[in-house]
Structure 1
Amino acid sequence: MKIFRSEPSRRNHYCEDEVGLIDRLFVNSDTKSSNFNRRMFDEDFARIFYPSNYRDGDFFEIVSNSEEVVEKLLSNARTRYASHSIDKKIRELVEEIGQSLIWFGRAFYFLYKDEGDEKVHVVSFRSAGVVRLFGTHIQWLPKFRERHWGRDDEQLPREVRILDGAKLMRFDMPISFKRMLNAQNKTLAVIDKHEFEATNFHPQATYENPNPTTYFDFRVWREIQDRALYRATQSTGWNGRKHDSSKRSDFFDCHRLIRFRRNQLLLRDEILKQLSIELSRVGKGYKSDFSVKISSSDELSSVERLNELEVRLAREEVGFKEVIDYCYKG
């Protein structure tokens, strides 16, 4: 086993056959089993910014004592869509961090330096195997068989990499969100597990009775599942992508939408807060007193405005269209 200080490995997968007993103490697979409703919720909740607002604009307010360091840290951040403006980089970082937090509860980024042009690249890496021991982050890498084309496979030894905390950025899901999502996901898993068990109530056809009559009311079964879904998602406000139920009122849907969007914005603002803290910390390697604060601008939806709309909706002082348009503003 090799123990050394190094940048984190960007290896994207492990071979389960190579993961030993001692490895499992440190490497918990970050591939979560996902049922149907859980997957839909994660996709919807991670959509913090809507496509209608993917236009040019100042979506974020950046207050810093060094624009040069901000440019150095963010201009080369590697995001999925490789945008050029700092504003778009921040938006894409928030989206990527949000997706990781929703799926895995944490996200890691590292500052890689390009020796050729002295540029700094902020790059995400896999969270599996990364643990904090006595204030120091280490990355545990099990043995790995690297396959090559045209030559024999190479067996890589187990590694423990000690990561440079001055270049590492860590983001964690707030505890309140963890509790809310864990409680919801437990019920969603049960709903999915029993979703199609109504077919078990069909009487079996026999030779004497090839078309047996069933007295099982499948509408009641569906109604029970819908009721369980809405109770499970009451805290998050998710509607399960159900838009055609005649049993729900427009008031119900609008209150749910406000609650769901508010949770998304609370997560967005928490990510911006953590991003400001982490950038300020790693930026001190380039300017000792560096600080930066990133917040959403008036171009984006705000929690305060949603709270106001919720009060006005309860008083019947606002129309449904205004509520819906604002929730999908961005």
Structure 2
Amino acid sequence: MKIFKADPSYWFRTCETNLGFIDSLFVKQVRHKPDFLRRMFDEDFARLFHPRNRRNGNLFQIVSNDDGVMQKLLGNVQLRRSRRSVDETIYELVTEIAKTLIWCGEAHYLIFDDTENGGVGVASFNSQGVLRLFGRHIQWVPKRNERHWDRENIELPREIRILDSAKVMRFEVPKTIKRMLTTQNRTLKVLDKYQFIRTTDFHLPPTHENPNPTNHFDFEAWSDIQDISLYRATRSTGWNGRKYDASKRSDFFDCHRMIRFRRNQLSLRDAILYQLGNELSRIGKNYTAEFSIKISATDQLPSVAYLDELTERLAAEKVGFTEIIDYCYKQ
């Protein structure tokens, strides 16, 4: 085993890894292909912004005591688009962090020297095996096989990399949301197991004594039980499972669900913005000792406070369903 100070390893992208017992204690196995319901929920919950928000501009209020350091930190973030303003950078960065948090629970970014642009860069790296001990970030890299097409494969030893905490930004899911997702995902995993079961799977097999067995299984009742289980599992998050047939639900039910789901999304958005400000403030102190930055959503974006107001007005029957739908889906 090698223990040394270094930048994060990207072994998970290029190498084959067979985790041993010791490795499994430090490296969390993450499924790369989510199940049907889990995938739909992750996609829906990660849509923190409506596409029209991007065209409004001035989505975020940035308060910093040193604009030069702020521009240096956010000017070279490695995202899909090359030319963008700081506002657009934060928009994409929050979206990217949210997707990672919902699936993995943590997100890590590395600050590095960008020699081409003469500044610093910010790029994400995988959270597998990254631990925080006594204020330090440590990456546990298991034994792995590195493949090469032009020569024999190389077996690399286990490594413990001590990362420079001054160059690492860490984001995590708020505890309340994490508990909701953990509880919900347990049920979604069970429901996904039987998601595409066929009616014929419940038929009794024909035998010589009974070539045409009577089938007493009620598939409609089975489907109703699955729907009820889904709605009970998603009660805290408010997700509707992309079920838009309102024949079995009231408009009040749907509106309360929409508000709850959107409120959870905005709570995650605001938590990411808060953490982003804290992490940038910590990193920025390497350039200016008193550097600080706070990032928050402006009035151009929907707010938790207004959703709480909508909930009270809905309970008092003082708001129409159209207003709630427009605010939850179009803001």
Corresponding residue SS for 1:162: strand
Partner Cα separation in structure 1 for residue 24 and residue 307 of structure 2 = 44
Cα shift at 1:325 = 1.0
Corresponding residue of 1:155: 155
Cα shift at 1:210 = 5.9
Gapped regions of structure 2 (runs ≥ 5): none
Q: Is the 8 A contact 2:11 2:141 kept in 1?
A: no
Deviations along 1:221-270, whole A, 9 cap, x unmatched?
11111111111111110000000141112221111001000000001001
Q: Is the 8 A contact 1:188 1:229 kept in 2?
A: yes
Corresponding residue of 1:50: 50
Q: How much is the aligned-residue C-alpha RMSD, in angstroms?
A: 2.1
Corresponding residue of 1:169: 169
Partner Cα separation in structure 1 for residue 156 and residue 131 of structure 2 = 21
Corresponding residue of 1:90: 90
Partner Cα separation in structure 2 for residue 52 and residue 209 of structure 1 = 62
Partner Cα separation in structure 1 for residue 183 and residue 166 of structure 2 = 35
Q: Is the 8 A contact 2:3 2:159 kept in 1?
A: yes
Corresponding residue of 2:218: 217
Cα shift at 1:199 = 4.2
Q: Does residue 255 of structure 2 align to residue 259 of structure 1?
A: no
Q: Is the 8 A contact 1:300 1:329 kept in 2?
A: no
Corresponding residue SS for 2:282: helix
1:189 and 1:231, CA in 2 relative to 1: closer, same or farther beyond 3 A? Answer: same
Cα shift at 1:214 = 2.7
Which amino acid is 1:151 matched to?
A: R
1:202 and 1:122, CA in 2 relative to 1: closer, same or farther beyond 3 A? Answer: same
Corresponding residue of 1:136: 136
TM-score where L is the length of structure 1: 0.92
Q: Is the 8 A contact 2:184 2:233 kept in 1?
A: yes
Partner Cα separation in structure 2 for residue 201 and residue 243 of structure 1 = 28
Deviates further, 34-43 or 146-155: 146-155
Q: Does residue 241 of structure 2 align to residue 240 of structure 1?
A: yes
1:15 and 1:133, CA in 2 relative to 1: closer, same or farther beyond 3 A? Answer: same
Deviations along 1:129-184, whole A, 9 cap, x unmatched?
11122221111212333223333333333322111111111111111111111111
Corresponding residue of 2:29: 29
Which amino acid is 1:290 matched to?
A: F
Corresponding residue SS for 1:128: coil
Cα shift at 1:308 = 1.2
Partner Cα separation in structure 1 for residue 12 and residue 81 of structure 2 = 19
1:251 and 1:177, CA in 2 relative to 1: closer, same or farther beyond 3 A? Answer: same
Which amino acid is 1:301 matched to?
A: P
Q: Is the 8 A contact 2:53 2:59 kept in 1?
A: no
Corresponding residue of 1:127: 127
Q: Is the 8 A contact 1:32 1:103 kept in 2?
A: no
Partner Cα separation in structure 1 for residue 74 and residue 117 of structure 2 = 16
Corresponding residue of 1:66: 66
Q: Does residue 312 of structure 2 align to residue 311 of structure 1?
A: yes
Corresponding residue of 1:191: 191
Partner Cα separation in structure 2 for residue 83 and residue 36 of structure 1 = 35
Partner Cα separation in structure 2 for residue 55 and residue 154 of structure 1 = 50
Cα shift at 1:33 = 6.5
Q: Is the 8 A contact 1:301 1:329 kept in 2?
A: no
Corresponding residue SS for 1:266: helix
Gapped regions of structure 1 (runs ≥ 5): none
TM-score where L is the length of structure 2: 0.92
Corresponding residue SS for 1:237: coil
Q: Is the 8 A contact 2:144 2:156 kept in 1?
A: yes
Partner Cα separation in structure 2 for residue 123 and residue 56 of structure 1 = 27
Q: Is the 8 A contact 2:16 2:146 kept in 1?
A: no
Partner Cα separation in structure 1 for residue 242 and residue 261 of structure 2 = 12
Corresponding residue of 2:104: 104
Partner Cα separation in structure 1 for residue 176 and residue 31 of structure 2 = 23
1:23 and 1:216, CA in 2 relative to 1: closer, same or farther beyond 3 A? Answer: closer
Corresponding residue SS for 1:293: strand
Give matches, 1:275-286, under 5 Å: 275-286=276-287
Which amino acid is 1:69 matched to?
A: V
